[in-house]
Structure 1
Amino acid sequence: MSPAVFRLALAGALLFACTPALAVRVQQVRIEGLHDPAIEANVRSALSLEAELDKELRPRRLAYLLRVAQDETRTALEPFGYYTPTITLTRSDRRGSASTEPDADEEDTPDDAATTDVASGGEKSASTLDDADADSTRADPTARGTIRGRADALTITLTITLGPPVRVRGFDLGIDGAASADASVAAAVAQFHPRAGEVLNHALYEDGKARIGRALTEHGWFDARMAEHRVEVTRAAQAADLALRWSSGQRYTLGDVRFNQTPEPFLRDALLHKLVRWQPGTPFDQAELERLRSALVALDYFALVDVQAAPEQAVDRTTPVLVELTPAKRSIYSLGLSYATLDGPGISAGVERRYLNARGHKALAQIDWARLRKTVTLQYRIPAFAWLDGWYTASLQASDELTDYVNSRRLELVASRSGQVNDHLNVVASLHLLRERWAYRTILKPVEEFRFASFLFPALQAEYIDVDDRMAPRRGMGASLILRGGKGGSSGDASFAQLYLSGQWFHGLDADSRLIARGELGHTFTDDVLDLPPSLRFYAGGDRSVRGYGWHEIGPRIVTSGGDYFTGAPNLLTASLEYERYFNGPWGAAVFVDTGSAFDGRRPDMHTGIGIGLRWRSPVGPVRIDIAHGLNAPDSPVTLHLNIGADL
């Protein structure tokens, strides 16, 4: 071989030897042996490999990631109480070849007691080195199975045997000081986990510690400090010793409330101070501040309500309460269009003044005008804070209804007092003066002459709502009870007493479906229900009653040659069960069965309807379009029902 050829061959060999191995790519990381999704999710969040999926990696970078994967997995398992797992790491490429990485040297883990600070939270993940640091790590590309010429696609499998969990052995938890006698604080201490004999779950530990801290703060123990905070884990014994104690100090009291209305005051402070239910010197309770905030929000005067205690400004442990208020827009204007099968097209318009004066009075005017139904409402409200937060209300409503079978005009004056008993229950006591004129009619002439009736009667209404979401509930119930009765009629001799109860129950089956049950029950004590005006009778059929039947068509009727005229009844019974499921974003469907009747006597003539519906979570609220068919007559028409708005 000539010297020139030898030199050329030597240069090529050296060049080939110095060429780095081509990149590899981790296509998938599989985790086997874990049956708890929360644990697996925490392991994946800790693995640096997860952030490098489908990226081309240099062999040294891959070698580093594989080496730290076991340490990262161990760290991620510790918050759940598993400190001595067995971890096997296997690499396989697309050709089916596989190799196993040895487990980390367990002798590096001390068997003696180690103190662990978990104050920063339960779940942990290890940090990674950058590429420069990784390149400084020694690795043998050939041993790692890297092939030259193209990126190899690898699947990394972590097989984990958890082993026995660490359990709490020593347990010292308590409050030193006067707060130990506080019922709310004691309840938070009693709910703390993990306790002796339980698995050392760091998330539960942090939740319990935070719950006790909140209870101390919410009851005015602002000087409370942690006197001892210690978690010791002995890996060899699979045991942990906990010591967690607070020194509570003295409880603060509630002081004066300072209202700040910005940009300038528009309501009297005297009005707002009526909402404050405590006297200065009352033991501090965050629930009192929340009740004040809720009462201010319910007034609907303000766009922003911020209620905060200021313990840093306390004098002799009496803390003032600072309330920041920003007014809402003073006037609300509304305009809408409507269409109903019986009423035809219509328009509604209204204006509400959130506050008329510095005393917080409100006013409302609204008109609903359709071809066959017209209603005008005027309302005036005054804040009422004695006994229960609520309103004194005076309202006047005039309505005119003209359908194929009834011609009715009504004028009603109502004076009421509402009261918010608690977060779920609202009660309204009212006095009604009703004047109504009505007649059943055909297209050409009335079936009977107009009748007139005047009634004066008191009423009591209670509304209870306890749901997770007022717009689209998935858990909870709502119910309404109305009691009313009085004397009047065309001759002044008619009397009545009436009970009406309605309710809805919601139960979420999974994230996309729910069951809805609904029912109504009503009874009227009277000699002759036809002596009562139509607005005081019960009806069944139509939207939110028994779908598959026309509006008010279930119940007693007058049969004439000009048609049937539904008179209403003294009794009402309806029930409904609906299954609703959403499939794609805001769109869903429903199936339902309704049954019920408005009836005389003791035996209801139940009418049942079934149907399907389309659901849409629109920006303005749920939209429900239902198609239903009544089962009581084979020739019953298919009915279409449209509802827009919240379920409650």
Structure 2
Amino acid sequence: MQRTAQAPSPAPGNETGEPPIITDEEFDATIPSIDPDAPMGTIEDWDAEQARLDSQAPALGQTGDGTVGGDLLTAPLVDDPELAAPLGPLESFDVEPFDESRYTEADDDAARAVRYSYRIDGLDALDAADEANPEPDGAGSIRARFGELSALDDGDGKASNGAMVSARMLEDQQLLADLLIGQCYFDATVNGAIEFAESGTTGPMMVVLTASPGPCYRLGTITFNAPPVEPADLIARNFVPATGEPIDAERILAAEANIAVAMPQQGYPFAKVGQRDILLDPESVTGDYTLPVTPGARSSFGDIVTSGSTVFEAEHIAKLARFDKGDLYDSRLVDDLRKALVATGLYSVVAVQPEPSGTAAPDGTQYADLKVDQEAGPERTLAANAGYGTGQGIRAQGSWTHRNLFPPEGALIASITAGTQEQGASATFRRSNAGRRDRAVELSLSALRSDFAAYESFTGRLAGRVSYYSTPIWQKRLTYSYGFELLGTNEQDYNFTLGQRDRRTYYVAALPGQITWDRSNDLLDPTSGFRLSAQVSPEASLGSGTLFYGRGLLEGTGYYPVGDNIVIAGRARVGSIFGADRTDIAPSRRYYAGGGGSVRGFGYQELGPKDPDNRPIGGRSLVEAAAEIRYRFGNYGIVGFVDAGQVSTSSTPGFDDLRYGVGIGGRFYTNFGPMRLDVATPIARRPGESRVAVYISIGQAF
């Protein structure tokens, strides 16, 4: 309740209602008491006393020596003829008007501005202790922290006036005292003083902060007021400071925060850490530490409860969770679920919080339900990307996606490809988190026209795939995919029998599969670790008879950091097609090398055997290798690289005609990965090959 003061009543005779200056009681109290037995004087006695006093003091006026003395009220007026003279006309006064243009605020500020410097005295003992045995309670860390927060330091030795310097000094006195107290010096005091430069000099004033740290208090007994928990040492083992250590505020706060984080990770979602108490003993220079902890009920995961504008039902959310009902509560798994929900891209806001259910679980814990508060976000997106490569030309792709057209997470993706050498369109149905987290099922239909030096094709493709993939939230060690492809393609190829290029239609059915073992440290821009990948695709060429063959590809990449900013990266790839002659394999299904993702320095698909027109015809085997030195500075990077590769007509990879390319590249690092520009040249360039090849794309080359 808020109280309101009542205004006093007006004093008698005071119609304005204002209170009297003093009350009657206060006035009576100030009057000295009068002795009733003392004789009263007469008026004649009063007049005689005043006449005597006037005769002893001369009247205030002009004396003979030119001084002024006496009583102003009784002094006779001096007869000055100037006082009786009339005033002259106003125009006779020579008055120059004030010129504002000659005055600026900067002039005033410059007149008042002061310069200063400051120093801290009294920390010599702590400095000496630092040199002998550096500890977190030394003067070095106090001086460094003071420099970060100091108002005097932030002012750069300049202030508008002395009052500002004084205010900064007072602020920094308290800051330095707080820093000392925060690092175990609970008896610390700090005094401030300003030393002015000598008269006649222009040097700055000096602000001196004199600290008296006093002794460093250390932890005595450490007590946790809490009921028994499981395991019994859960609270104590997460409190790092030990008896005998300095009572460092930051270290104590970090330890308390560690308890608040660790307990929800070990089955206590409703744990609360109370207000600490430190009892200081000046004699032993120790402090007994007591921390109340309310762990709450030990809990297991219960049901998932949704609220808000529902995007997913509880059943689908449970598929994204990496825990089952009845598992011991772990806040890290709750955070992981929240990230997975955000990663779907279907939420504008989503929150996941535990709630007590009051229901006991079979293992003696209590169920903690998870409340998922949902707010739907936009379901449709537009995206575009573009790139350029020598031999591949300019290629741009745009897509429209409805991510939840077929709930839950059934997306429809329509895309268009436009480029100097590729044009096409596709439609894809994709269900993310299908049956389990990070598993996707896709079905796509596409039409594509390609016009490269190696072949020209018109291809229609129907494909399906099931994949278990890595995401930026959870980069998995093992990923895989498997599916099918049905395609019909009309392609132009060189017919060595006829000695000319002719067209042929191929019908292909394939069952492609891939498996990857990933031990790198980052999905988009790895700097350490390695990756191993294998692709296998049994295929059948249909049409004039049925021909079975297989395509296989092995690839490995490795990343080794040298210092903080340099990474050495390497890649090796080998592939083979077995079971069919080259002429029986559609040109688009053969192996090629050259380009930004293959052997830089050469055009797209440029390496390997060629026809009489010096156009690549592809082969049945492939070997590639690359080495890079990556140097990063801030958001930019420089890359030097050497690539090598060879394509052979035989199904057995060969190394007798390896071609090399060298170059340099630039990187601009963004939050979604690096953008790259690589420029390379072939070694021992042959007729028809470009002197320089340029590649622009998103992501590292490997």
Q: Same fold (TM over 0.5)?
A: yes
Specify the alignment match of 2:639 in structure 1.
591
Amino acid at match of 2:514: L
- Whether 1:370 and 2:419 are equivalent positions in the alignment is yes
In the alignment, the residues of structure 1 paired with residue 157 and residue 343 of structure 2 have an alpha-carbon distance, to the nearest angstrom, of 54
Structure 1: which amino acid aligns with 2:538?
G
**Of the candidates 659, 662, 681, which is equivalent to residue 629 of structure 1?**
681
- Between stretches 495-504 and 155-164, larger displacement belongs to 155-164
* Change in CA separation of 1:201 and 1:573 when aligned onto 2, cut-off 3 Å: farther
Is 2:278 aligned against 1:221?
no
8 Å CA contact 2:609–2:647 kept in 1: the answer is: no
Cα distance per residue 1:184-226 (max 9 Å; x no partner): x84x854542335656543333222211211213444245455
Question: Which of the numbers 106, 116, 120 marks the counterpart of 1:26?
Answer: 116
TM-score, structure 1 as length reference: 0.70
1:390 partner amino acid: R
Kindly state the Cα deviation for residue 77 of structure 1 after the two structures are TM-superposed.
4.6
CA contact (8 A) 1:611 1:627 kept: yes
8 Å Cα contact 2:575-2:653 kept in structure 1: no
- Look up the match of 1:580: 631
Q: 1:289 to 1:47 in 2, by over 3 A?
A: closer
Give 3-state SS (helix, strand or coil) of 1:152's partner.
Answer: coil
Q: CA 1:618–1:222 in structure 2 vs 1: closer, same or farther (change >3 Å)?
A: closer
SS at the partner of 1:41? helix
Per-residue deviation, 1:517: 1.8
- In structure 1, give the amino acid aligned to 2:147: R
- Helix, strand or coil: the match of 2:257? helix
Query: Would the alpha carbon gap of residues 287 and 454 (structure 1) be closer, same or farther in structure 2, given more than 3 Å must change?
Result: same
**2:515 matches 1:455:** no
Given the alignment of the two structures, is residue 204 of structure 1 paired with residue 256 of structure 2, yes or no?
Answer: no
Please say if 1:492 is aligned against 2:543: no
Match of 2:370 in 1: 321
The CA deviation at 1:251 is 0.8
Q: Does the C-alpha gap of structure 1 residues 518 and 402 become closer, same or farther in structure 2, counting only changes over 3 Å?
A: same
8 Å CA contact retained: 1:593, 1:608: no
Aligned pair partner of 1:55 in 144, 158, 180: 158
* Segment of structure 1 superposing worse, 375-384 or 525-534: 525-534
What percentage of residue pairs aligned between the two structures are identical? 19
Q: Superposed, which structure 2 residues align to 1:395-434 within 5 Å?
A: 395-419=444-468, 423-425=474-476, 426-434=479-487
- Using the alignment, how far apart are the partners of 1:180 and 1:196 within structure 2? 22
**Which residue in 2 is equivalent to 1:642?**
696
Asked whether 1:296 is paired with 2:344, we answer no
Give unmatched runs, 5+ long, in structure 1.
Answer: 8-20, 85-107, 111-125, 129-133
- Aligned partners of 2:312, 2:297: CA distance in 1, in Å? 37
Return the alpha-carbon distance in structure 2 between the equivalents of residues 296 and 520 of structure 1.
Answer: 37
How many Å apart are 1:379 and its aligned residue?
Answer: 1.1
Contact 2:596 2:604 in 1 (8 A): yes
Q: Which residue of 1 aligns with 2:60?
A: none
Residue 545 in structure 1 maps to residue 598 in structure 2: yes
Alignment partner for residue 614 of structure 2, among 563, 566, 573?
A: 563
Matches within 5 A, 1:3-402: 24-27=114-117, 39-45=142-148, 47-56=150-159, 72-73=175-176, 75-77=178-180, 79-80=182-183, 83=185, 144-148=195-199, 152-154=203-205, 170=221, 176-180=227-231, 186=234, 190=237, 192-196=239-243, 200-222=247-269, 224-225=271-272, 229-231=276-278, 242=289, 244=291, 246=293, 248-262=295-309, 265=310, 271-272=316-317, 274-275=319-320, 281-311=326-356, 317-334=366-383, 340-345=389-394, 347-383=396-432, 385-402=434-451
Contact kept in structure 2, 1:177 and 1:247, CA below 8 Å = no
Deviation at 1:488, TM superposition (A): 1.9
Higher mean C-alpha deviation, range 188-197 or range 357-366: 188-197
Cα drift, residue 242 of structure 1 = 4.8
In structure 2, the CA distance between the partners of 1:559 and 1:434, relative to structure 1 (3 Å rule), is same
Structure 1 pair 323–155 and aligned structure 2 pair: CA distance change class (3 A)? same
CA contact 2:304–2:314 (8 Å) conserved in 1: no
Shift of the alpha carbon at 1:42? 1.0
1:128-165 Cα offsets, whole Å, 9 max, x none, are 9xxxxx9xxxx7x8xx3434567632567999999997
Q: Which amino acid aligns with 2:144?
A: A
C-alpha separation in 1, matches of 2:674 and 2:204: 48
Displacement after TM superposition at 1:430 (Å): 2.0
Q: Whole-Å Cα distance in 2 between the matches of residues 445 and 58 of structure 1?
A: 95
Further displaced range: 271-280 or 408-417: 271-280
Q: Is the 8 A contact 2:241 2:252 kept in 1?
A: yes
2-side partners of 1:246 and 1:268: how far apart? 36
Superposition RMSD in Å: 4.8
Cα separation, partners in 2 of 1:487 and 1:25, compared to 1, 3 Å: closer
The answer (yes or no) to whether the contact 2:260–2:273 under 8 Å persists in 1 is no
Q: Residues 174 and 246 of structure 1 are in contact (CA less than 8 Å); yes or no, is this contact kept in structure 2?
A: yes
Name the larger-Rg structure.
2
Answer with 529-538 or 404-413: which moved more: 529-538
Gaps of 5+ in 2: 1-63, 70-110, 361-365
1:367, distance to aligned residue in structure 2 (A):
2.0
Q: Distance in 2 between matches of 1:168 and 1:74?
A: 20
CA distance in 1, matches of 2:685, 2:384: 40
Cα distance in 2 between the residues matched to 1:487 and 1:258: 48
Greater mean deviation of Cα atoms: 223-232 or 212-221: 223-232
Please tell me whether the aligned partners of residues 26 and 52 of structure 1 are also in contact (alpha carbons under 8 angstroms): no
Whether the 8 Å CA contact 2:218–2:286 is kept in 1: the answer is yes
Q: Indicate conservation of the 8 Å contact 1:416/1:428, yes or no.
A: yes
Q: Deviations over 1:51-96 (max 9, x none)?
A: 4543348778868977996775464255456x49xxxxxxxxxxxx
Q: Are the structure 2 counterparts of residues 174 and 391 from structure 1 closer, same or farther at C-alpha, using a change threshold of 3 Å?
A: farther
- Please report how far the alpha carbon of residue 459 of structure 1 lies from its aligned counterpart in structure 2 after TM superposition: 0.9
The 1:61/1:325 distance shift into structure 2, 3 A limit, reads closer
Cα displacement string for residues 421-463 of structure 1 (whole angstroms, at most 9, x for unaligned residues): 8821243232333444544349x98446637352322413447
Query: Does the 8 A contact of 2:639 with 2:666 survive in 1?
Result: no
Change (3 A) 1:432 1:500: farther
SS of the counterpart of 1:304? strand
Task: Using structure 2 for the length normalisation, give the TM-score.
Answer: 0.66
CA contact (8 A) 1:308 1:322 kept: yes
Task: Judge conservation of contact 2:267–2:299 (CA < 8 Å) in 1.
Answer: yes
Contact kept? 2:526, 2:559, Cα under 8 Å: no
